[in-house]
């Protein structure tokens, strides 16, 4: 027995202590190994990685990250080959003449290219020339839109990132001039954050875009020692964005109300924010409930073929930014299962290189550097378990249903989507209407639904993956451009009299109406979404999206996918007796293929040709009547990115009390032989016969149906039932508990980092000629009367330390910092008073803007009363401890002693282990071995304790 177990204790001790000597294991972080820097920087780069990581990135570019490095290299080579196409102009007039986000977007990838390939001829010179041209501009704003800081934000984040990446390659003059440019742009962004909508309109794409630009500039400024300005800027960014993170918890389905395209615009910056605040302030959002669900928003919205997405709201054909960068981010820091890497690879593999759906010139390279930084090659690409079969998915907050997403393009791989939800999504709508988060929110003015469309009860259909009925993309906010229904009316306020669309449509603006009046309450409802035996049933109710004076009791839209290439749509319109409307007009769109007229056996229809295949639609009302449709092309006004859309318009009379209108849409694999319908007050029956099957559909439309069913389908002799028990329930989440304190908790992480930076700065200039100048700068916002006294005291301490004994090593940087007044509390107080006066003036000049979110202007104010603890809004907060992965320049005496004992104890442990292995393993006395193991075990626990203490004190 002794022979077989003799070495077991040794193995146990080695395995127990392995994490102590394996840095990778010891530094494992639940947020994906993002190290918290804790204010301990060794210069630039520092935003996303440290100077010591550059060599590893260069090695990765030649190995695990080869594919992404190739794309970065292609982008860099393209700029080198045709610099005249990509360099910003020297002329300020030319620079500001048009929307210019492309310059900041391309600078990030160019600087990454230089960092990975520093010996590439001409690359660094091009980057410096690029930065010189941008630095020469008096303003990065667009001349015709001086009120919009988004172009400035793109330029600032790109310029500050390039400054961080390439700092070592810039000469002294460039370092100083470029830093001043960053400071000026950041200061402007900071000032505008108090008066522009992006400072208080939450969950809108402008907010993270502008805030991350300001945060990036402030982090660079902080590293260069400009602590006061950077501190105010950082606190302002966090006070805005941390509120957004709280509100985002109400969105339970991982969606973003502005749609997929603008959603990627938002997450491009939002994910950068999450990374940066974890790295620099130890604020983790990687277990955020919205983030845990966000993969579905990207996965469940892709059409077969992986080239297009649902184009709900203002949109292009797919994504504005990424989404490969966002997907690898999700995989590395959230999913950890390979699905993000898999989907990113498929999207890149199927990218449209030319024509509709290709990435925009101003956005195509923008996220390459973050994709490279965030990619984890250890996560092998792996599809989700349900990949390969069509799945039904309901985004309960967004009000969108999708079926058949993310499949290979092939016959019978079809896609269907339906939208009927609350304006702004359920979370935002309920926050506004239920007066949630009332300390922050003042109705619709704290949100911006301008990019949404009047699109309740609308749908799209792509049989075989071919877009047949599509959204009309980024265009005017008209109901008729969204596969919607208009009603005949003489009501005032209609854009196209005598027709009335949904109350949110805008007649004379590029943006949706949403702030006041009937528009503020517009909503639709998904009443059912279910799949049974390969068939899909969806029902939406849209009457609340229309003017109540139309007296529409029900506008019910039913979709039944009978076969992958056969869709039945039935509109049920129930009118009140005194309803003024007696006609309805439905529109159906295809942005690329023109519709052509058709008619079979007296039933009118239309079709589009896709290659040699025809995709058909026909329509009929419940009296058997089928009116001819109007075909045409709707031209968009100037100022939109698309020219217009092809459409079919079907107009029918309405009868009191109800009218049913049925439409069938089918692909080339289905041949319709007969089509008829009839109905009564409880239901409508539709009969369809194809070459292979007969379908009899019983659709229950009554307000109080005779049976607990939505619908029943007889496929030949097989019965498929869509039962009522599965009806959708609208469960709005509760307000986040103690939401104000949640934000305050995270804001407390900022000051300790800046205090640590303060110590480093004082330690660096100790016993140098610049000491007094540095101290004066640190105290520039303090009480002027006390400044000289404090500086003299600090100067005397530094002289005394210089004459001290060499054997007594003290962290004088910390002592000098302790002797300083709390400069950060003082500048916060001073800024708070100034902002109170400013906000009052803004309110007097423009009440609607000034009163938008006055609480947000003050939330950065620190509640600390001392350095040990503090009370904020009646709740005690613990001081945030500075635990970082980077070493501090000035080590305290405690840290030095712990390190000394740790080294001695480590040596002792290995000595004892060596003695155990060489001599006592052969000892005959079991008692002797047990005593030795006991001593070793005690020493092991001492070692673990010292290691833990060392990690907390950064020794």
Kindly list the catalytic residues: 206, 262, 474
Tokens found for residue 770:
């610049």
C-alpha distances in Å from residue 866, one per residue of 148, 616, 742, 789, 790: 40, 74, 21, 21, 19
DSSP 8-state class, residue 883: -
Residue indicated by tokens 């378990």: 385
User: For 150-203, what is the HEC assignment?
Assistant: HHHHHHHHHHHHHHHHHHHHCCHHHHHHHHHHHHHHHHHHHHHCCCCHHHCCCC
Bridge partners, residue 603, by sequence: 600
- Listed in sequence order, the residues at least 6 apart from 604 whose beta carbon sits closer than 8 Å to its beta carbon are 597, 598, 618, 619, 626, 627, 628, 629
d(CA 381, CA 379): 6
Taking the CB of residue 645, how many other CB atoms lie within 10 A of it?
23
C-alpha distances in Å from residue 840, one per residue of 111, 443, 861, 937: 43, 20, 18, 67
d(CA 579, CA 577): 6
* CA contacts within 13 A on the Cβ side of 197: 16
End-to-end CA, the chain: 44
Angular region, 160: left φ>0, alpha ψ -120 to 50, beta rest: alpha
- Among residues 587, 375, 381, which one has the least CA distance to residue 475? 587
Tokens found for residue 799:
């002289």
Task: Looking at 167-323, list the stretches that DSSP marks H as alpha helix, in order from N- to C-terminal side.
Answer: 172-192, 206-223, 227-248, 259-281, 289-299
Q: Check: CB of residue 676 under 8 Å from CB of residue 620.
A: yes
Angular region, 48: left φ>0, alpha ψ -120 to 50, beta rest: alpha
- Among residues 610, 596, 604, 602, which one has the least CA distance to residue 667? 610
Environment class of 779 (CB within 10 Å of its CB; exposed 0-12, middle 13-18, buried 19+): buried
- Listed in sequence order, the residues at least 6 apart from 659 whose beta carbon sits closer than 8 Å to its beta carbon are 572, 573, 575, 584, 621, 622, 652, 653
Give the max Cα distance, the chain. 107
- Listed in sequence order, the residues at least 6 apart from 125 whose beta carbon sits closer than 8 Å to its beta carbon are none
d(CA 755, CA 865): 15
- Listed in sequence order, the residues at least 6 apart from 724 whose beta carbon sits closer than 8 Å to its beta carbon are 705, 708, 709, 710
d(CA 849, CA 856): 13
Q: Check: CB of residue 477 under 8 Å from CB of residue 455.
A: no
Environment class of 14 (CB within 10 Å of its CB; exposed 0-12, middle 13-18, buried 19+): exposed
Tokens found for residue 512:
């949706």
């Amino acid at each position: 027995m002794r022979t077989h177990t003799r070495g077991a204790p040794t193995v146990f001790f080695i395995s127990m202590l392995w994490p102590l000597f394996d840095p990778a294991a010891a530094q494992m972080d639940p947020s994906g190994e993002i190290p918290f820097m804790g204010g301990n920087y060794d210069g630039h780069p520092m935003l996303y990685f440290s100077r010591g990581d550059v060599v590893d990135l260069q090695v990765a570019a030649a190995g695990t990250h080869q594919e992404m490095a190739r794309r970065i290299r292609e982008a860099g080579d393209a700029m080198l080959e045709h610099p005249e196409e990509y360099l910003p102009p020297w002329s300020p007039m030319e620079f500001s003449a048009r929307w210019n986000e492309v310059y900041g977007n391309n600078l990030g990838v160019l600087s990454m290219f230089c960092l990975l390939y520093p010996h590439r001829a001409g690359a660094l010179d091009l980057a410096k020339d690029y930065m010189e041209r941008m630095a020469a501009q008096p303003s990065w704003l667009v001349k015709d839109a001086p009120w919009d800081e988004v172009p400035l934000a793109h330029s600032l984040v790109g310029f500050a990132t390039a400054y961080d990446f390439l700092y070592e390659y810039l000469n002294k003059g460039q370092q100083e001039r470029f830093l001043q440019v960053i400071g000026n742009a950041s200061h402007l962004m900071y000032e505008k954050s108090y008066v522009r909508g992006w400072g208080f309109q939450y969950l809108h794409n402008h907010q993270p875009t502008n805030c991350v630009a300001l945060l990036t500039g402030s982090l660079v400024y902080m590293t260069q020692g400009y602590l006061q300005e950077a501190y105010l800027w950082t606190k302002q960014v966090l006070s805005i964005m941390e509120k957004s993170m709280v509100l985002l918890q109400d969105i339970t389905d991982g969606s973003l109300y502005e749609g997929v395209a603008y959603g990627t615009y938002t997450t491009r910056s939002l994910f950068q924010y999450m990374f940066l605040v974890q790295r620099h302030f130890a604020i983790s959002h990687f277990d955020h409930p919205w983030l845990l669900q966000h993969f579905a928003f990207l996965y469940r919205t892709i059409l077969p073929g992986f080239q297009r997405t649902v184009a709900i709201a203002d949109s292009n054909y797919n994504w504005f930014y990424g989404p490969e960068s966002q997907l690898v981010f999700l995989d590395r820091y959230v999913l950890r299962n390979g699905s993000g890497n898999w989907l990113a690879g498929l999207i890149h593999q199927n990218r449209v290189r030319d024509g509709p759906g290709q990435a925009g010139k101003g956005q195509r390279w923008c996220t390459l550097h973050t994709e490279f930084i965030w990619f984890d090659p250890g996560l092998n690409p792996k599809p989700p378990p349900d990949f390969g079969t069509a799945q039904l998915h309901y985004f309960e907050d967004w009000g969108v249903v999708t079926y058949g997403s993310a499949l290979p393009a092939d016959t019978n791989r079809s896609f269907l989507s339906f939208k009927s939800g609350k304006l702004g999504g359920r979370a935002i709508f309920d926050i506004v209407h239920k007066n949630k988060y009332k300390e922050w929110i003042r109705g619709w003015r704290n949100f911006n639904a301008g990019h949404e469309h009047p699109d309740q009860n609308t749908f799209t259909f792509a049989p075989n993956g071919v877009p047949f009925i599509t959204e009309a993309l980024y265009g005017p906010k008209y109901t008729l451009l969204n596969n919607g229904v208009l009603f005949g009316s003489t009501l005032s306020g209609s854009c196209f009299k005598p027709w009335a669309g949904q109350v949110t449509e805008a007649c004379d603006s590029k943006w949706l109406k949403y702030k006041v009046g009937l528009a503020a309450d517009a909503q639709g409802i998904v009443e059912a979404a279910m799949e049974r035996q390969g068939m899909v049933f969806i029902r939406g109710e849209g009457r609340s999206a229309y003017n109540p004076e139309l007296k529409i009791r029900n506008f019910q839209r039913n979709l039944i996918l009978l076969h992958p290439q056969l869709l039945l749509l039935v509109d049920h319109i129930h009118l009140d007796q005194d309803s003024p409307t007696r006609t309805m007009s439905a529109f159906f769109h295809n942005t690329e293929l023109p519709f052509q007229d058709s008619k079979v056996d007296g039933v009118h229809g239309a079709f589009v040709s896709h290659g040699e295949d025809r995709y058909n639609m026909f329509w009929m009302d419940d009296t058997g009547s089928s009116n001819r449709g109007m075909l045409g092309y709707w031209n968009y006004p100037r100022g939109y990115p698309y020219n217009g859309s092809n459409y079919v318009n079907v107009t029918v009379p309405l009868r009191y009390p109800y009218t049913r209108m049925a439409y069938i849409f089918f692909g080339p694999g289905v041949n319709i032989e007969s089509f008829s319908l009839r109905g009564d007050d409880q239901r409508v029956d539709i009969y369809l016969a194809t070459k292979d099957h007969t379908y009899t559909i019983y659709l229950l439309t009554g307000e109080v149906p005779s049976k607990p069913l939505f619908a029943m389908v007889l496929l030949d002799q097989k019965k498929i039932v869509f039962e009522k028990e599965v009806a959708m329930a609208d469960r709005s989440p509760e307000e986040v508990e103690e939401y104000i304190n949640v934000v305050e908790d995270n804001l407390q992480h900022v000051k300790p980092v800046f205090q640590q930076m303060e110590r480093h700065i004082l330690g660096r200039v100790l016993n140098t000629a610049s000491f007094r100048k540095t101290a004066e700068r640190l105290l520039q916002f303090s009480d002027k009367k006390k400044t000289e006294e404090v500086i003299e005291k600090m100067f005397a301490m530094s002289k005394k330390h210089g004459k001290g004994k060499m054997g007594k090593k003290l962290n004088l940087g910390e002592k000098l910092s302790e002797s300083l007044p709390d400069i950060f509390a003082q500048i916060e107080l001073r800024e708070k008073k100034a902002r109170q006066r400013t906000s009052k003036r803004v309110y007097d000049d423009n009440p609607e803007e000034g009163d938008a979110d006055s609480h947000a202007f003050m939330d950065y104010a620190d509640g600390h009363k001392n350095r040990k603890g503090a009370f904020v809004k009646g709740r005690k907060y613990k001081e945030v401890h500075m635990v970082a992965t980077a070493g501090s320049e000035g080590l305290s005496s405690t840290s030095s002693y712990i390190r000394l004992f740790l080294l001695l104890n480590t040596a002792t442990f290995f000595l004892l282990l060596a003695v155990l292995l060489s001599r006592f393993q052969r000892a005959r006395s079991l008692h002797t071995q047990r005593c030795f193991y006991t001593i070793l075990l005690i020493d092991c626990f001492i070692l673990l304790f010292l290691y833990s203490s060392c990690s907390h004190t950064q020794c």
